[in-house]
Amino acid sequence: MGLDEAKRLINGWVRREGSGRDRLLPLLHMVQDEIGYIDDTLVPAIAAALNLSRADVHGVLTFYHDYRRQPAGRHIVKLCRAESCQARGGAAVEAAAAERLGVAMGETRRDGQVTLEPVYCLGLCAIGPNALINGRPVARIDSAALDRIAAEVAA
């Protein structure tokens, strides 16, 4: 989607949904849902549409981890980094996942097949370490689970 088309999308949404400050999060969600991520070049258009400063929009965009500023891979693997999962071997799982998936934490593999991201607590602390694979929770991540995940994202 080009910049002009994205601006039309934003302005159309604002006409339908309103332009108050409270519309920033819903607008960011809409842009991400429609485009897949929120490109930095859209920040001025979003700020203008809601009568906010670029700093306001940038601050919100960078505060929340679920907003993407670059396209994600075809598969998204999120590994829990909360204390409980870390106490259950999360750091070793993360290192093994990065090796098996061929991508560092916080990155998308060059072929665009998989993105590996941290997530901070999935609410499954008693059965960690945990992950979200394309939005599906997976508990008790171990070597066998990593093999299944690697096979799933390779498909």
85 is annotated as contributing to ligand binding: yes
155 is annotated as contributing to ligand binding: no
Please say whether the beta carbons of 74 and 46 come within 8 A. Answer: no
34 is annotated as contributing to ligand binding: no
- pTM to 2 decimals? 0.81
Cβ neighbours of residue 77 closer than 8 Å, sequence gap 6 or more: 97, 101, 114, 115, 116, 117, 131, 132, 133, 149, 153
Instruction: List pLDDT tens digits, range 3-30.
Output: 899 999 999 999 999 999 999 999 999 9
Average pLDDT, the chain: 95
80 is annotated as contributing to ligand binding: yes
- At 40, is the pLDDT very low, low, confident or very high (cuts 50, 70, 90)? very high
